[in-house]
Every structure is written in C-alpha cells, then in structure tokens.
Structure 1
C-alpha cells in the first residue's frame, strides 16, 4: 500500500461512516435489520458468552482504551527506537477517538433499550469497535504481516460481536466504528507516511552510494 492508496481508502471509509450514520439516524426503515440482529443476539445469549462480552467491554473501553493501549503501543515502539512510528500511533488513536466522539454528537443515536451494561452518550458509532480496528490497522501499517492482519481482524470482529451481544450497540454502530476507526487511521498514515517509513530507510551513506 502506498501513500496515495492509504489516503483514498481512508477518505472513502470516513465518508462511508458519515453516510451510514445519516442513513440509520434519519431513515426509519434502516432500523429494521438492526432490530432483527438485536433480537437474534438476545436469543443467542448464554452465560459464558455474556462473560466473554463483559471482558471485551472492560478491556476495550474507558482509560484502558483511551490511555493504556495507545501509550503501551507507543512505549514498545520507543523501546525499539522507532520514534516516528510511536508518534504516528498516538496521532492515529487520537484521530480515531476524536472522529468517534464527533459522530456520536452529530447523530445522537439512541442505544438499544435492553442494553446489559451502562454506557456513554450516543450509540453511533461504536467506540469500542473503532478502537479495536484502530489497533489492528496501526499495528498492520507498522508491521505489515499476514498474521498481524488476521489477528487484527479477529480482534475487531470479536469486539464488534460483543457490543451487539450486550445490546449496548446496534449492528450498524459496530460497522460505523470499523469504518471511522480504519478510515481515520489510514488518513493519518497518508499524512504522516514518511514517519512510517523513516526507521526503515537505509543509512545515509548507503542511500548516497
């Protein structure tokens, strides 16, 4: 993936998140699939699934998502002397979280009434899911390996599923979280593309040769 591709993909994903928010907020018929999925999740609930979802709720929100994970990833990169990539990661997490809060206040969507855990204002998009996909995209951009992409996709899918299992989000909220989290991360990557590649440049003597 190049800088231009990252920028185009990021812009498309962010635009898709905005359009999805407009659709599910302002078009009543768009609520039907969400309602059906919420009912299905209610029927599928089992104690062990709820316990797993509660773990994802704990690990993927609050100060752990806002501070611990971003600072932890940045600290590891700093220890590896990958200074610019550490800064990129922090900027990407901030952009993703900011985008989520902006859309939450723009659309002010109500959450499902049968939610199992208390949550903050605004259902669209899912902040937990956006944070999960931001982790996945940031780590893949820093270490573009197949196994990193697979683990990131599984983590994001599990987080999204847990949010609907607890009825704290509609299905489209989690889709919106994926769109804004990935889109914001890719836009930041396009803007700071040199930071992602700085530590991989050969020494100046080798470049001159």
Structure 2
C-alpha cells in the first residue's frame, strides 16, 4: 500500500479545466437529446455503431459480457466500498472519504440525468436494465472507480489500465444493446468530470495524508523487524 499509493500534485487548472470540459461533453449531448424529446440526437452514428456491434456477437463474447455486465455496476460499487474500507485500515481516512464520495456522486448524478433526459434504450437488449438510456450507469460507475484508483496510485500504468477498463465497458454496453454509443460516452464524461472536480479540493490533503501514513507504517515495520532480530539473537 505504501509503494502503490502515490497521488501526484497538479496545478489546479490541470484538474479543473479537464473536469469542466468533460462535464460540458456530457451536458451538451444530453441537452440535444432532451430537445429532441428523447429521440436519438445522433441517430446515424448511434445506429451505425449498433449495427456493427451486432456483427461481433459470438458465444465467447456473450459470456465475457455477462461478467462485464455484473462488474460494471454492482462490481464497481462493491469495489468502491472495499477501497474505502482498505484506505481506512491503512490510515488514510480522507482518501477513503474521497473514494466513497466520488462513487456516490457519480451514481446519484447519473440516475438524476437518466430521469431528466428520458432517452429510450435500444431495442433487443440482452440484459435486464432500468429505464433511461443516457448516460450509461455501468460506464459511469466503472469510470468513477477507475479514475479514483488512477488518481490515488498516481502512476502511468494505472492511467493505462483505467482507459482500457473504461473502453471495455463502453464496448460491452453497446454490444449488449443496453445503450447507444452516445450514452456510454456521456457516462464516461460525467463520471470522470465529477471525480476530477472532487479531486481538486481533496488532492493536497490526500497527498499529505498518504505521506504521513506511509512514514508511520514504515516506522512500525522497522520496529517490528528490530524486535524480530532481537528475539533471534536471544
């Protein structure tokens, strides 16, 4: 945990500016869909991608996407809780609060947006789903968790894993005909924007907390090692 968690300091504008751009990228399509009374505002792109997704169907990919269907929503929420609990155990309560708040905020705003936009889902969905297609809840939950992890870990490999995980969930939701392409893009933009905005006030305190907790854990580990060495000598 000491070596894994290394949140990085960034200028405020490098956090806030991308967050606002992502939220705009979510809000503009949502507004256009609402203006069209719930009909797909990007019909040609959405339907073309949906038609292409049908060509990918195969028993193996069906099985993979059943797993992703669970992991993308229930799994992501459970992962948020496990992460928050682990951070508390490892003496990082503010990082735990950031993780929990990010997950709950992304979930709440996604459900609110679904109700406000009122977009119909594609026909022929392979999984049970709630009402409201824009934005995708699975993509939103997955994005929130992976972006939180990438921010707390602070390493390039974590960013790569986050991007690949988000893309996999986006493809999965369209493969299952649970969402239009614009739905999954909107879910990713909303969650990433919300997490980054929350990271802005939490960044400095999480960095300080991580350093203090790391030094404490190192001290205890060294003390335990000295005790063990003394016991062996006796």
The normalised TM-score by structure 2 is 0.80
Other-structure match for 1:156: 166
Match for 1:2 among 8, 11, 34? 11
Corresponding residue of 2:219: none
Partner of 1:207: none
> Following the alignment from structure 2 to structure 1, what is the Cα–Cα distance between the partners of residues 122 and 47?
9
> 1:166 pairs with 150, 159, 176, which one?
176
1:52 corresponds to: 64
Cα separation, 1, equivalents of 2:106 and 2:46: 24
What is the deviation of 1:154? 1.0
Question: Matched residue pairs, number?
Answer: 201
Matched, 1:177 2:191: no
Matched, 1:196 2:206: yes
Gaps of 5+ in 1: 204-209
Instruction: Identify the match of residue 146 of structure 1 among 153, 156, 159.
Output: 156
Whether 1:31 aligns to 2:43 is yes
Partner Cα distance (1:29, 1:15) in 2: 16
Q: Distance in 2 between matches of 1:200 and 1:29?
A: 45
Which whole-Å CA distance do the structure 2 matches of 1:55 and 1:175 have between them?
21
Aligned CA-pair RMSD? 1.8
Give the secondary structure class of the aligned counterpart of 1:15: helix
CA positional deviation for 1:140:
1.3
| TM-score, normalised via structure 1 length | 0.89
Is the CA contact (8 Å cut-off) linking 1:4 and 1:190 kept in structure 2?
no
Contact kept, 8 Å, 1:84 with 1:198, in 2: the verdict is: no
Pairing 1:61–2:73 present: yes
Shift of the 110–42 alpha-carbon distance from structure 1 to 2, 3 Å rule, reads: same
TM-superposed CA distance for 1:39, in Å, is 0.8
Partner Cα separation in structure 2 for residue 41 and residue 182 of structure 1: 25
- The structure with the larger Rg is 2
- Deviations along 1:168-195, one digit per CA (max 9) or x if unpaired, are 0001111001100100000111132333
User: In structure 2, what is the Cα distance between the partners aligned to 1:26 and 1:51?
Assistant: 37
Asked if the contact 1:88–1:195 (Cα under 8 Å) also holds between the matched residues in 2, the reply is: no
Cross-structure match for 1:76: 86
Cα shift at 1:35: 0.6
